[in-house]
Amino acid sequence: MASGITKPIYVLSGPNLNLLGQRQPGVYGAKSLADVEGECRSFAAQNGFEIICHQSNHEGDLVSWIHEAGNEGSAVAMNAGAYTHTSVALYDAIKGVDIPVVEVHISNIHAREAFRHHSMIASACLGQVCGFGTNSYTLALRALADHLDSTT
């Protein structure tokens, strides 16, 4: 896997994900964001590619990192947090880059509050991984690596 990936995959996390392990552990689990990023780095290293991790509570930072990934990266795994349900700016940023993006969610957004059922970014993404806890991140990386390998 991932033998053809020469540019890093970006792992982007949006608002409140810096509180992983503290905020609603019954929904989001006990692992910190640093733990999740460590698991992603291990997965990437085991599969022969590099990742770049960023987290921000600010929508514009996420937009800028998507643009950066479009120039410097091969793909994006992104947990946009609450911006998933509200951000046309993230949708436009994803549509504006020529790399695959996978939407990531720790919880199953379709089994939660009604306002979480709609994703503003889903139709711009290659796919969506949700409901597998923090493993959703590495599942997204696996999907992206497999996709990139199949298209190179």
Model confidence over 90-133: pLDDT tens digits?
Answer: 999 999 999 999 999 998 877 666 766 779 999 999 999 999 99
Catalytic residue list contains 28: yes
Annotated catalytic residue within 28, 83, 91, 137: 28
Q: What is the CATH number of domain 9-151?
A: 3.40.50.9100
Percent of the chain with pLDDT over 90: 78
The set of residues, in sequence order, having a beta carbon less than 8 Å from that of 57 and lying 6+ positions away, is 14, 15, 16, 18
Catalytic residue list contains 105: yes
Annotated catalytic residue within 10, 83, 105, 137: 105
Angle at 92 between CA 58 and CA 89, to 5 degrees: 30
**Residue 128 forms beta bridges with which residues?**
103
pLDDT reported for residue 109? 78
Percent of the chain with pLDDT over 70: 91
